[in-house]
Structure 1
Amino acid sequence: MSEPILQLTGVETDIAQYHILQGVDLAVPAGQVTMLLGRNGVGKTTTLKTIMGHWRARAGAIRFAGEDITALPTPARARAGIGFVPEDMGIFTDLTVEENMILAAASGPLEPARLEAVFAAFPPLRTFWKSEAGNLSGGQKQMLSIARVMAEERRLYLIDEPTKGLAPAIVSTMARALRELKAAGASILLVEQNFAVARALGDSAAVMDDGRIVWTGAMAELAADAALQERLMGLSMETAR
């Protein structure tokens, strides 16, 4: 396994009076897709938001590319090369696709080569370039959400359930785009409930339960062991979609 680009050690996060993360230990290998799996409500989204700095860790440490980022504000983490795609997409619906992309490229104008890569991954965005994002379909909005973090070079992508509620054809487009990100050298930490996608994309996996990581290993190992899936998550990848 390659060296981790991201390492969480003993991370604890509180939201209001609730103790959500209860000592998370997680390593994300560089250049791989790591699946963060588990039942609803076990802390997966809170983990991503803590890494991004939307929630502050009460205890523990977060290291990115060898640097301690535990106390850094969210903008500094983004400048360091972390991109975040939230479950609610985070796009500006009253702005055009073009305006959304321009805002996402905080360091300067959109590079033509990077924009062409976005269009190659998500062809509908070229078609609707001048359209308001609020008029896009659900799948097209999700494409734009991922495209926005592709507007600048990122070393690590945190992506929260990108295929949720999407038609199979759109899911295939998403999966292909994520493969291309990985092929370009990016590392990805992906929360995903579609086990077919998880099995197809994941190199490694970490399973959460009750605010902790309870299992880590190769995605292929988890995908091949129905009994392990049942024990860790209460369902089998062969029956869940």
Structure 2
Amino acid sequence: MSEPVLSLRDVHTDIAQYHILQGVDLDVPRGGVTMLLGRNGVGKTTTLRTIIGHWQARAGSIAYDGQDITTWPAAARARAGIGFVPEDMGIFADLTVQENMTLAAVSGPLAPDRRDWLFSVFPPLKTFWNSEAGNLSGGQKQMLSIARAMAEDRTLYLIDEPTKGLAPAIISTMAGALRELKEQGASILLVEQNFSVARALGDTAAVMEDGRIVWTGPMRELAEDAALQERLMGLSMEAH
């Protein structure tokens, strides 16, 4: 087994007076997709934002690609090869799709072959390349948000609920793009409430409850055990 691309050990994060992460231990294997699952409000988004550095851990350690990044600023983590897709998309509505993508390529101009690949997995980006991002539909904005994180080849992608509120056809496009990213060897930590997507894409899974990881294992094991799903999350994937 290779060293995990990302390891959290006893990570605690506070937001204002609230103690959100209460000792998170999590390993993200190198390559493949790790699903971060759990009920709403258990700390999944806080975990991603702590990893990328938007919120600083009060205690514990975060190791990425063999380096301790616990105290690094967010910009340094991004430069080191961590891409982040927030739940609120984080696009610039008054800029064109092209301008959004140009800003996302922090190491230099967007490479033509990378642009063409993004056009192939997200065809609307090519159609609306010179349109303001604010004029896109919700699904197209989400495509742009994910494409921004993919503007450069990154080692680890943190993606927060990319299919939330989207139509099935858009979800299928999203899943296909993430599958291609996985096949290229990227590591992905994905928060997702759509269990059909989680089941289709996930290699491993970690389930959160009350600011801690309470179960880790193969995604297939969780997907095939309705009793385990009920115990961990209070619902069955078969109903979703």
Contact 2:121 2:173 in 1 (8 A): yes
1:237 has 2:222 as partner: no
In 2, the alpha carbon distance for the partners of 1:196 and 1:87 equals 19
How do 1:61-210 residues align onto structure 2 when only pairs under 5 Å count?
A: 61-210=61-210
Query: What residue in structure 2 maps to residue 225 of structure 1?
Result: 225
Gaps of 5+ in 2: none
Report the residue type matching 1:172 in the other structure: S
Deviation at 1:2, TM superposition (A): 4.3
TM-score, with structure 1 as normaliser? 0.99
How do 1:19-34 residues align onto structure 2 when only pairs under 5 Å count?
A: 19-34=19-34
In 1, the alpha carbon distance for the partners of 2:132 and 2:148 equals 15
Deviation at 1:107, TM superposition (A): 1.5
1:211 has 2:211 as partner: yes
Structure 1 segments, 4+ long, off by >3 Å, are: none
Report the residue type matching 2:222 in the other structure: L
Residues 99-108 or 78-87, more deviating: 99-108
1:116-154 Cα offsets, whole Å, 9 max, x none, are: 111111011000000000110110000000000111121
Contact 2:6 2:27 in 1 (8 A): yes
1:184-214 Cα offsets, whole Å, 9 max, x none, are: 1100000000000000000000000000000
In 2, the alpha carbon distance for the partners of 1:2 and 1:219 equals 19
Report the residue type matching 1:87 in the other structure: E
Deviation at 1:40, TM superposition (A): 0.1
TM-score, with structure 2 as normaliser? 0.99
1:152-175 Cα offsets, whole Å, 9 max, x none, are: 121000000000000000000000
2:237 match: secondary structure: coil
2:61 match: secondary structure: strand
Give the paired residue count.
240
2:134 match: secondary structure: helix
Gaps of 5+ in 1: none
Report the residue type matching 1:63 in the other structure: A
Report the residue type matching 2:54 in the other structure: H
Compute the RMSD of aligned alpha carbons: 0.6
In 2, the alpha carbon distance for the partners of 1:13 and 1:181 equals 30
